[in-house]
Amino acid sequence: MASESASRRSRKSPPPGDTGQEAAYLRFLSDQQVPITVKLRDGESVSGWIEYFDERMIRLTREGQPNLFIYKEQIRTITEQGRRTPKNDATHRASEEHRETRRD
């Protein structure tokens, strides 16, 4: 039995190294100029939007600060900022209306 399970494992092919999903997601972030926060491996976080990317790095454009070229190997996470879902928009509008009503 042990030999059967070992032979099954050897037949499996490894997962593909590149599915293209990373490039598609970065292209979306870049095209839409979505505000993001990039957390680096050393724990530092920087914010801006992706203006350019290639297979090794991204260019992070920032307001009022120097733009950064960041090697992908130094990135821990990329988090989108400021995008609201319709549910959040409705909650925000209701909260604003409530505040305006209380002021009157």
Could you give all domains of the chain from N- to C-terminal order, each with its CATH number? 20-103 (2.30.30.100)
Statement: residue 49 has pLDDT above 80: yes
What is the rounded CA–CA span in Å between residue 52 and residue 61? 9
Statement: residue 89 has pLDDT above 70: no
Of 27-36, 63-72, 85-94, least confident by mean pLDDT is: 85-94
Residue 87 pLDDT class (50, 70, 90 cuts): very low
pLDDT in tens, 55-78: 999 999 999 999 999 999 999 999
The alpha carbon torsion through 73, 82, 31, 52 (nearest 10 deg) reads -30
Cβ proximity of 51 and 61 under 8 Å: yes
The SS3 call for residue 80 is strand
Confidence (pLDDT) at 46: 97
